[in-house]
Amino acid sequence: MSLGALFFLGVDDDGKVLGIENDYKTLGKKPNRDGYENWLTTLLLGEFGKDASPLIRISFHQIDRKDICQLAFKPSPRPVFVKDGNGEHLYIRAGNSTRLLTSREAIEYSKHRWP
């Protein structure tokens, strides 16, 4: 999988491993990796759309006896909009930040990014 972005859940900004075990406790019937992956998949596909599923890979690792979750996002061959209430928005990464595009910017960005 060619990676566009990697995210680690259960690791703080300084790289300290915190783990996601406390998150498991919020899941009800399946307070484990399987339940967490199911919850996370439902959340991500609900926000990005089910057609984005081939772009997302979820995996788990254990470091210092603590579980962390790795999210790997493959670059998309088309714009992926994020749902927000009744609307959908296009965001880009600019340096170390995420920026919301206006409608005009989204059109121009898409024309150059996906000609």
Compute the distance between CA of residue 102 and CA of residue 32 in angstroms, rounded to an integer: 40
Is 40:58 a contact under the CB 8 Å cutoff? yes
Predicted pLDDT at 9: 98
The least confident of 9-13, 65-69, 74-78, 106-110 is 74-78
If one counts every other C-beta atom within 10 angstroms of the C-beta of residue 56, the result is 16
Indicate whether 5 pLDDT > 90.
no
23-82 pLDDT, tens digit per residue, is 999 999 999 999 999 999 999 999 998 999 999 999 999 999 999 999 999 999 999 999
Alpha-carbon distances, residue 97 vs 5, 11, 59, 73, 85 (angstroms): 13, 18, 24, 16, 22
- Mean pLDDT for the stretch of residues 87-109: 94
The C-alpha angle 66, 69, 71, rounded to 5 degrees, equals 160
Cα-Cα-Cα-Cα dihedral sign, residues 5, 55, 46, 103: positive
- pLDDT for residue 93 is more than 90: no
Q: What is the pLDDT of residue 3?
A: 60
Please tell me the pTM assigned to this model: 0.83
